[in-house]
Amino acid sequence: MNPKILRPKQAAAYCGFSVATLWAKTNPNNRRHDASFPKPFKLGNGRAVGILKDDLDAWIATQRQPENGETKQC
């Protein structure tokens, strides 16, 4: 089975935030940087990048607050 790869716009929509927030989470120089957020990777030789859906699912699972069952915003 091939892993599902999401482009940045799809990944941001999947997590419920903007593409700008996605890039902020991946940029170490940004105040909203999140070192635990999945790193985008290059697709081929061009500028296109993707993020594995399974990695996003794992990251979302770590954002949950176990004490009351609610999830944090991505």
Q: Mean pLDDT across the stretch 2-9? A: 93
Domain that holds residue 55: 5-63
pLDDT one-digit tens code per residue, 32-71: 999 999 999 999 999 999 999 999 999 999 987 666 655 5
CA 13/CA 17 separation, integer angstroms? 6
Residue 28 in any domain: the answer is yes
Domain count, the chain: 1
Dihedral class, residue 30 (left if φ above 0, else alpha if ψ from -120 to 50, else beta): beta
What pLDDT is attached to residue 2? 80
